[in-house]
Amino acid sequence: MSEGTPPVPDPAVDALGVGDEVEVDAGPIAHGGFVVARHEGRVLFVRHAIPGERVRARVTEGGAGDRFLRADAVAVLDASPERVEPPCPYAGPGLCGGCDFQHVRVPEQRRLKAAVVQEQLRRLAGLDREVTVEPVPGDEDGLRWRTRTEFAVDASGRAGMRRHRSHDILPVDDCLIASEHVIGTGVLQGDWSGEKAVDVVAPSVGSPVVVRVPSGADAAPVVTERVAARALSRDVDVSARGFWQVHPGAAATFVDAVLDGLQPRAGERCLDLYAGVGVFASALALAVGEGGQVVAVESDPVAVAQARLNLGSTPWVHYVQGRVDHVFGVESTGRVAGPRRDRRRAAPRRPHSDLPPSADVVVLDPPRTGAGKAVVDAVVALRPRALAYVACDPAALARDTAYLMGRGYALGSLRAFDAFPMTHHVECVAIFEPGSP
């Protein structure tokens, strides 16, 4: 065989399919809660394993010709010292898909998440950065932290959780990451016949509420959440079906991380993008005072209405309702905005008239998909002296970091938080400054 000629696939190996079991060595952790393993040249993404272990993996998805296979570790042949017995009886191969790491000691979970953030920054942004994932106060050794939980309902009317990457519903008697207040409503013992799902919200102020899904945010009750941060201490009203951080310590932790990073000054102009019900806007308003200005952009009309009520005592905060990319006059893909049905080049969309011509500091708290190149370009054009990026997805953070670096901004501080223990999710707060080291 000449040099550079790809090897001929082994037909027996390529025939691996769902249900087949193979012994593999668990390689590095990857984004998504699995480890990367290889068997005779095939790549397997294996759940319920820990890097360095040898496991027997059962293929759960994929077959001949696929670039990779998904698998579960159904037996551990050589266990890691970081392995523990999962506290939840529903956390395991073929069971609930909500948790990824119940088989891993909590400190090691954080090291694995840090490795994922580092790898994404290295691969997508070309940036080497040490990362430490910090705990968030309010859970019980990684359990009983989820204050907002949606339970699926099966054909018999019983509430439960969906199996991993499946629409199948697993009835459960408890969810150990859900708060005691959520479980205390009796939702898992109720008869929910005729419903598709049911939401339980245990706010930090007042009693828990149970909401039948698919009630929209405008039809759901309003609950009160208390933010007790150094930079902000206040109650905030939010729809029970609207966005709110589910870990009880998350909102205060992120507010302080953002404000510590930005250090907003009296009289400055601030921009809060993907602003929700106004938590960051409230903290920024206190920091800049009446001589400053905060412009917040949010697309959800219910959140905007609640934010305007929440911020009624700070008239120097102005809310703009609309998608962030549309408010800037761009599409999130970076293309000029215009109707899809019109094949001709559309006239450029003008930025919203209430958008400031410049900003001293910017908060970007985008959805899981990230802000994207066009929004990053628009933000950089405002020439902020500092930008805080709140990221719930390491890959999106890394992609947008690359865009920012390409436009003269560099990553200053980076903090990562374990706001979703037992799962692969991690929240990051990154501070960017022009020309910073």
Is 428 one of the catalytic residues?
Answer: no
Query: Of 88, 99, 392, 428, which residue is the catalytic one?
Result: 392
Contact 39, 13 (CB under 8 A): yes
Is residue 57 exposed (0-12), middle (13-18) or buried (19+ Cβ within 10 Å)? buried
Q: Classify each residue of 249-269 as buried b or exposed e, where b means 16 or more C-beta atoms within 10 Å of its C-beta.
A: bbbbbbbbbbbebbebeeebb
Q: How far are the Cα atoms of 44, 62, 230, 249 from residue 137, in angstroms, in the given order?
A: 35, 40, 14, 5
Q: 21: Cβ–Cβ under 8 A, 6 or more apart, which residues? A: 56, 57, 58, 59, 74
User: In angstroms, rounded to a whole number, what is the distance separating the alpha carbons of residues 84 and 358?
Assistant: 52
Which DSSP helix (H) or strand (E) runs through 374?
A: helix 373-380
Contact 144, 88 (CB under 8 A): no
Longest distance between any two alpha carbons in the chain, whole Å: 76
The residues carrying an active-site annotation are 392
